[in-house]
Amino acid sequence: MSMNEKVALITGASSGIGRATAEVFAAKGANVVLAARRQDELASLVTKIEARGGKATAITTDVSKAIDAERMVAHAIDTFGRLDYAVNNAGIEGALGGIVDLDEDDWDRVLDINLKGAYLSMKYEARTMLASGNGGAIVNVGSVNSFLGFATGSAYVASKHGMVGLTTSVSAELAPHGIRVNIVCPGFVDTPMHQRARGLLGDELYDNVLLPNVHLRRAGRPDEIARSIVFLCSDEASYITGTTLTPDGGYTLTV
């Protein structure tokens, strides 16, 4: 799975799954382009990757804005001259609330970042890959909530459901051009987002009600999800497109 001198762009790269994915790509020899809103965290990751002998660059990005999405792809080309892989991982959980109380601005913020952000990112990633004529691979990051709803989570769940349809549609469109598009839908993973969920739900509910539904009886690690993402980008997955991969420890088989 050597990816020497290939170029990978990762959104939401400042923490959690995105950060781990950037590290795995770099370990495989890829040059990585890190995009997120938190500049300090991006800078620290660039330093870490370069200290290990890798090549990385970062650009502060709000994926919900077309100008930022276009600029991050242009930065990849300006810095490394090509784009082979794109991982659209940026996302937020947003405000939770019953449908009768959920504020319209809260709904818009979640959909703008999670779903519109994936659309805008793919728009400019695909445009660049098509222009190169060299094919490529795109992986979107959904969630087990791409199939499972939960009370008070309508905005987040709607955004993640939408990403499945977006992925399969774009896969059909780009496959004739040698560009594969897949989606990874993780379960419980030990990231800052899930730590916030634990804080809201409480340790008792999280540990004694939710995690027992995971066949492996534990949360996943960010690097475990990252390796699934990098696999789907690699030549090892050359006949896989339009597919949903669910690294969830068996959770969706139980609930």
Residue 119 falls in the annotated catalytic set: no
Burial 146-163 (b: 16+ CB within 10 A, else e): bbbeeeebbbbbbbbbbb
Which of the following is catalytic: 124, 156, 206, 251?
Answer: 156
Asked if residue 142 lies in contact with residue 90, where contact means CB atoms within 8 angstroms, the answer is no
CA distances from 60 to 14, 34, 40, 65, 96 (A): 10, 8, 10, 12, 27
* Secondary structure (DSSP) of 31-62: EEEEEES-HHHHHHHHHHHHHTT--EEEEE--
Query: What positions carry a catalytic annotation?
Result: 156
